[in-house]
């Protein structure tokens, strides 16, 4: 689950991580009021969408307007807000259609001496969270990682202990941070690592992280993604979800207990088990196709869930064929076959359907499909299924 920058900064503030003052505005007048209330000589108006690259992004309806702009008057703040609100911001992460801006964040300016980068993720190979910092703040960190990976410094930390002072000193020395700024970094980095652990974050990123002219380390940006599996422990954070920023089909799938991620391809996949779903996507690509989604119906999928899954898959106008790939373990192949037959009557298949069944009660499941009036392309084995669905999609 993702949240907006202004929401992340409220969490930072509550955890003692230094941030600047700011206010959310949903129309030009509110942006003007926010600038006046902040009281500084400068402020920054930022589009609030769940995508990075806002500073270089452009508004479809106002091509001269970027997603982040420094303003020096209340009228200027109102102008930028008016250009952004209700329009679509296109960034490197939104796709060409862009994302509608429904709110902006008006934030105080500050005297920036240095721009850095900070990120925290889980390093699954080390089974530990890892803090990453770089002197290349404000840039695309993916580009830095590709072209100059030596400029990204890493420190793993034990979630039960937290980041330790010697680790902060090590990072500061490598980035030429000393004196008061190093003491500020010690406070900042320890608290933000603790926040990452306490809130079950999947990713936490500050880019740019700045050191001010007064040698204070401050989060100028904030990007936080949470582990969905831990949301039951954070009811207050779950309430921060902005449905307007979510893919509608993913929300619909989640309401039915389905694990679904929409992709840009044209071959829909209905699979049980996350590992099998990933393998299915890989082999489709291997044979020249492009998956339209990740969909795990789970081990205990019932007829209603499978029917809803088909409704979601077939509602995508880009889908040219569907591959059902089921390994019957807890879920019997007869249950899936029954669900496919029922779904064909309730939903109606308007594209080719390739079905590969293996596992518990597979023979009976195959017999049910063969004796039904559902038009199906049967497959034996994963490779056979992938080849047939790619061919059926006309790729």
Q: Which residues are annotated as a binding site?
A: 46, 53-55, 107, 110, 115, 207, 221, 272, 329-331
Active site residue: 117, 136, 155, 361, which one?
A: 117
The rounded distance, in Å, linking the Cα atoms of 201 and 24 is 23
Tell me, yes or no, if 117 is annotated catalytic: yes
The two most distant CA atoms of the chain are separated, in Å, by 78
Tokens of 61: 């309806």
Residues present in the chain in total = 395
Active site residue: 5, 30, 155, 205, which one?
A: 205
Binding residues for Mg(2+): 207, 221
Binding residues for substrate: 272, 329-331
348 conformational bin, left if phi > 0, alpha if psi -120 to 50, beta if neither: left
Binding residues for ATP: 46, 53-55, 107, 110, 115
Looking at the annotation, which residues are catalytic? 117, 205
């Amino acid at each position: 689950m993702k949240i907006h920058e202004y929401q992340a900064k409220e969490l930072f503030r509550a955890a003692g991580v230094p941030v600047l003052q700011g206010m959310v505005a949903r129309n030009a007048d509110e942006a003007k009021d926010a600038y006046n209330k902040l009281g500084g000589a400068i402020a920054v108006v930022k589009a609030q969408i769940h995508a990075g690259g806002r500073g270089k992004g452009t508004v479809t309806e106002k091509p001269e307007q970027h997603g982040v702009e420094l303003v020096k008057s209340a009228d200027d703040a109102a102008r930028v807000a008016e250009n952004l609100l209700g329009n679509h911001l296109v960034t490197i992460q939104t796709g060409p259609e862009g994302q509608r801006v429904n709110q902006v964040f008006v934030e105080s300016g500050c005297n920036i001496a240095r721009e850095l980068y900070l990120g925290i993720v889980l390093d699954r190979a080390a089974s530990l969270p890892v803090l990453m910092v770089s002197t290349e703040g404000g840039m695309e960190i993916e580009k830095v990682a590709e072209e100059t990976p030596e400029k990204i410094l890493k420190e793993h930390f034990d979630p039960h202990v937290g980041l330790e002072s010697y680790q902060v000193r090590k990072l500061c020395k490598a980035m030429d941070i000393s004196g008061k700024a190093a003491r500020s970094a010690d406070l900042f980095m320890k608290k933000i690592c603790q926040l990452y652990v306490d809130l079950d974050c999947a990713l936490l990123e500050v880019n740019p992280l700045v050191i001010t002219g007064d040698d204070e380390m401050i989060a100028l940006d904030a990007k936080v993604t949470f582990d969905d599996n831990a949301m039951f422990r954070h009811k207050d954070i779950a309430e921060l979800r902005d449905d307007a920023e979510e893919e509608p089909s993913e929300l619909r799938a989640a309401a039915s207990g389905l694990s679904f991620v929409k992709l840009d391809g044209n071959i829909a996949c209905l699979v049980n088990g996350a590992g099998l779903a990933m393998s299915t996507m890989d082999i489709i690509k291997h044979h020249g196709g492009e998956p339209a989604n990740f969909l795990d119906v789970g081990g205990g999928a019932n007829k209603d869930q499978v029917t809803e899954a088909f409704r979601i898959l077939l509602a995508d106008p880009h889908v040219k064929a569907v591959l059902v790939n089921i390994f019957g373990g807890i879920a019997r192949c007869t249950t899936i076959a029954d669900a496919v037959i029922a779904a064909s009557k309730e939903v109606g298949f308007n594209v080719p359907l390739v079905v590969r069944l293996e596992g518990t009660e597979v023979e009976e499941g195959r017999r049910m499909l063969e004796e039904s009036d559902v038009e199906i392309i049967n497959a034996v084995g994963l490779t056979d299924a992938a080849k047939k669905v790619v061919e059926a999609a006309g790729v």
